[in-house]
Amino acid sequence: MKDLKVLVVDDEEEFVSALVERFTLRDIYAVGVTDGKLAVERVSEHDFNTVILDIKMPGIDGLEVLKALLSLKPKLKIFIITGYGSTDLGADGLKAGAVAYLPKPIKINNLIQMMRESLDNDGESSE
Amino acid sequence: MNIFTKIYFTFFPAYLKNKDMPKEKIFRYRRLWLYSASITAMVALAPLIIMTVMNLNLYQGTFEDEIKSPIITRISTAKRNLEFNLAERQAALSFIINNHTLEELSDNDKLSEIFFHLRSAFGGFVDLGLIDSQGNQLTYSGPYDLSGRNYLDQDWFNAITLHDSYVSEMFMGFRGFPHFIITVKYVKTGGDFYVLRATIDAEFINRQIQALEIEPSSDAFLINREGILQTPSKYYGNTLEKCPLEVPPFTNAVELNEFNHESGGMFFHGYAYIEESPFIFMALERHDELMKNWFTLRSNLLSFLGASIILVILVIFWSSTRLVHHIQEAEDKREKVIHDLEYTNKMASIGRLAAGVAHEINNPLAIINQKAGLLKDIVEFDETFPQREKLNGIIDSVLQSVDRCGAITHRFLGFAKRMDLQAESIELGHLIQEVLGFLGREAAYRNIEININKSDDVPTIESDRGQLQQVFLNIINNAFAAMKENGILDVSIRKIDDYSVSVTVEDTGKGIAKENLEHIFEPFFTTKKEGTGLGLSITYGIVKKLGGDIQVESNIGKGTQFEVILPVNTGPKREI
């Protein structure tokens, strides 16, 4: 079982900080950023294997960020979260390579379970 | 509405009287109807009536002419006959007086001989006398003893002194029966004269005249110029009585008039002056008997006209009703389209608003969720945290509230979201069975009878199974909720045309009030205590998105009927 290394990308500072702290409390390595450029920088600098990405942030095209992240690191597990109901954007994200699409509000324990499963499946199938 | 009322309304549409519609509509349709009916009636009936009246007049003229002409002929024949008879007798007397000397005529035997020949040659003569210029009867031949009479003071004698010959009126004279006389004068050289006088029996003329009374009701008689009857009249009395009819003005020809007899009938009244005599020939012919054929023809024509008018008016009423009905239908259709369009726009606006609100709330809600979750983590991970139990309880209730909010915002978003439709072949009967499968136990538990009617010609449709399940789940769920135990749910599936099918879900529930019916598809409109008011609005959104339509009818206390119309092939996708 690999360790989760999570990057949380959301324009809501409070949301990011709370989520990161909760991951940390559960002994999961997590870092939060509030914009897309920083997200790309962090991923290129550090060895994240999972990203939680709000696909709809003001002034930022979440889908472009998603594509940029995946082109940097194709094996990255990206979980899209959004406050919008628009499934089109979610579907586009899934097409572009995201693992799942989750509407807010999310339950952290479910999310962690999904991230673990996804990472384990990948490990099994690739090994 | 029974058959008779239906037929009645075919000719006299409801808006002519009732007040079920908005006032201005009734007024407009009524005016349209009246315009159409009256203009058509005028165009159709005026020529018919005018033609009939013209024909009637023409026929009447022809008829009257046909009746009048034989009467006129008869009167002129009578006039000529009478004139001829009088002239003939006058001429005979003239011949006698000119062809015999005074001596011969003064001889009683000779006069008797002449009278004998006269009587045998001409009928009607009663006697013959010779009178001198002093009025003394010189000789006399006849049945009465009139020798030696003096006629100087008699009217006729005065008249003959002035004229060469004279025909008198009827009078009684010395003889005591109606008669008239013809006299001729012979003027001797030197100015003195003598007169030959013959009496003619009135019967002689009576017979001729009565022969002219053809019909039992017709009357023919003579009057003189003072209006005294010269022969007996059927209607006006005996000879020498006064005839109440006005003496007609003089004319040489035959005149024919119509007049109203006091006995009540219409009569033709013809007359002719008999020349060289004081007589006027009068004839009365009963009008109505002669015109009987005409009256029959007229009443036939008029009843035909009446029947035609009634028929034409009925057809006009019917066609006007049809015309206005078509206009009314077109207008209703247009109104409905406009109304639907407004409704669709309204629903779209509400949808966008709901989505906006949901999103705005969702982000702060996510923060609350995570912060509360963090709080819970902190409390849970530290077993020595003071008042841990109580805090846990508080945080759980915050999280539960967040979940409730989340559920609502997700329904909002679901209501608003646009999805790619997953088109697949769907057999509607199976789909309804599936949906009922979800609810089956509830139906059995509450003893609700479920009937599914599906006509054989219903095709499978191309649509989104999940969405359709959602639609019918909502509708049937509502139907169950509206019914008490022992309710009946009827689902009928039928084909409308090659492009659309209809699914009708009918319950025997409590029904929806009229004022609520127009709001039931709006979000948050609910009459249930725990309802969100989103079920039917989502249903509406889905049906519209699938290119279909949904309609509802309801009777309080009797039940509600939802009809979902779906295209056989998924129609154009609509964004709600």
Parallel, antiparallel or unpaired: strands A50-54 and A5-9:
parallel
pLDDT for B97 beyond 80: yes
pLDDT averaged over every residue in chain B: 84
Cβ contacts of B444 within 8 Å, gap of 6 or more: none
How many CA atoms, within 13 angstroms, populate the side-chain half-sphere of residue B240?
11
The pLDDT score that the predictor gives to residue B159 is: 86
Hey, is A37 helix, strand or coil? helix
Q: pLDDT per residue over B327-369, tens digit each?
A: 888 888 888 888 877 777 777 777 777 777 877 888 888 899 9
In this prediction, what percent of chain B has a pLDDT beyond 70? 93
Chain A residue whose CA is closest to B376: A22
Give A-chain residues touching B355 at CB under 8 angstroms: 84-85
Give A-chain residues touching B406 at CB under 8 angstroms: 104-105
Mutation site for B-interface testing, chosen from A8, A10, A15 by largest number of B Cβ within 10 Å: A15
Cβ contacts of B242 within 8 Å, gap of 6 or more: B227, B228, B229
Q: pLDDT per residue over B203-224, tens digit each?
A: 888 888 887 777 777 888 999 9
Q: Which of B269-283, B418-432, B536-550 has the lowest mean pLDDT?
A: B418-432
The structure tokens listed for B223 are 């009057």
pLDDT for B575 beyond 50: no
Answer for the pair A69, A51: CB distance below 8 angstroms, yes or no: yes
Phi, psi of B199 (to 5 degrees): -100, 135
pLDDT for B3 beyond 80: no
Q: Which residues in B92-234 belong to E strands, given as ranges?
A: 125-132, 137-141, 165-167, 179-187, 193-201, 219-223
Give B-chain residues touching A83 at CB under 8 angstroms: 359, 362-363, 366
Give the 3-state secondary structure of B344-410: HHHHHHHHHHHHHHHHHHHHHHHHHHHHHHHHHHHHHHCCCCCCHHHHHHHHHHHHHHHHHHHHHHH
Answer for the pair B222, B281: CB distance below 8 angstroms, yes or no: yes
Which residue among B365, B413, B416 sits closest to A105, beta carbon to beta carbon?
Answer: B365
Which residue among A25, A84, A105 sits closest to B369, beta carbon to beta carbon?
Answer: A105
Phi, psi of B560 (to 5 degrees): -130, 150
Partner-chain contact B378 A25, CB within 8 Å: yes
Distance from CA of B378 to the nearest CA of A (A): 8
Q: Which of B99-113, B165-179, B495-509 has the lowest mean pLDDT?
A: B165-179
The structure tokens listed for B515 are 């004022």
The stretch B460-474 carries a mean pLDDT of: 84
Answer for the pair B161, B141: CB distance below 8 angstroms, yes or no: no
The pLDDT score that the predictor gives to residue B573 is: 43
Query: CA-to-CA distance for B120 and A116, rounded, in angstroms?
Result: 164
Give yes or no for A58 touching B (CB within 8 A). no
Q: pLDDT per residue over B505-558, tens digit each?
A: 999 988 888 888 888 888 777 777 666 677 788 788 888 888 888 999 998 888
Cβ contacts of B469 within 8 Å, gap of 6 or more: B431, B434, B435
Of B255 and B523, the structure prediction assigns the larger pLDDT to B255
pLDDT averaged over every residue in chain A: 84
Residue B14 exposed, middle or buried by CB count within 10 Å (0-12, 13-18, 19+): middle
Residue B505 exposed, middle or buried by CB count within 10 Å (0-12, 13-18, 19+): buried
Parallel, antiparallel or unpaired: strands B266-273 and B255-260:
antiparallel
| Phi-psi domain of B135 (left: phi exceeds 0; alpha: psi -120 through 50; beta: other) | left
The pLDDT score that the predictor gives to residue B50 is: 92
pLDDT for B15 beyond 80: no
The pLDDT score that the predictor gives to residue B416 is: 55
Q: pLDDT per residue over B115-147, tens digit each?
A: 999 999 888 898 999 998 888 888 898 888 777
R_g of chain B, CA atoms, integer Å: 58
Partner-chain contact A21 B374, CB within 8 Å: yes
Query: CA-to-CA distance for B554 and B544, rounded, in angstroms?
Result: 21
Hey, is A78 helix, strand or coil? strand
Q: pLDDT per residue over B293-309, tens digit each?
A: 888 888 998 999 999 99
The structure tokens listed for B567 are 């295209």
The pLDDT score that the predictor gives to residue A125 is: 47
Interface of A with B in 94-113 (CB under 8 A): 103-108
pLDDT for B311 beyond 90: yes
pLDDT for B30 beyond 50: yes
pLDDT for B562 beyond 90: yes
In this prediction, what percent of chain A has a pLDDT beyond 70? 87
Of B447 and B264, the structure prediction assigns the larger pLDDT to B447
Cβ contacts of A86 within 8 Å, gap of 6 or more: A56, B413, B417, B418
Give A-chain residues touching B367 at CB under 8 angstroms: 12, 14-15, 18
Give yes or no for A15 touching B (CB within 8 A). yes
pLDDT band at B91 (very low <50, low <70, confident <90, very high): very high
The pLDDT score that the predictor gives to residue B207 is: 85
Partner-chain contact A108 B365, CB within 8 Å: no
Closest CA to A45 of A7, A11, A15: A7
pLDDT for B502 beyond 90: yes
The stretch B383-407 carries a mean pLDDT of: 88
Chain centroid, CA B85 distance in Å: 63
Classify each residue of B85-97 as buried b or exposed e, where b means 16 or more C-beta atoms within 10 Å of its C-beta.
bbbebbebbbebb
Q: pLDDT per residue over B39-63, tens digit each?
A: 999 998 999 899 989 998 998 888 8
pLDDT for B563 beyond 90: yes
The pLDDT score that the predictor gives to residue B84 is: 92
CA B247, B249, B252, B258 torsion-angle sign = negative
Distance from CA of A111 to the nearest CA of B (A): 12
Q: Which of B4-18, B189-203, B252-266 has the lowest mean pLDDT?
A: B4-18
The pLDDT score that the predictor gives to residue A88 is: 63
The pLDDT score that the predictor gives to residue B415 is: 57
Query: CA-to-CA distance for A77 and A99, rounded, in angstroms?
Result: 6
Phi, psi of B156 (to 5 degrees): -60, -35
In eight-state DSSP terms, residue B171 is: B
Which residue among A18, A83, A85 sits closest to B363, beta carbon to beta carbon?
Answer: A83
Query: CA-to-CA distance for B279 and B274, rounded, in angstroms?
Result: 5
Q: pLDDT per residue over A53-95, tens digit each?
A: 988 777 777 888 888 999 988 889 999 887 765 556 677 788 8
Mutation site for A-interface testing, chosen from B362, B367, B380 by largest number of A Cβ within 10 Å: B367
Partner-chain contact A15 B418, CB within 8 Å: no
pLDDT for B570 beyond 80: no
Partner-chain contact B413 A91, CB within 8 Å: no
The stretch B437-454 carries a mean pLDDT of: 81
Answer for the pair B570, B545: CB distance below 8 angstroms, yes or no: no
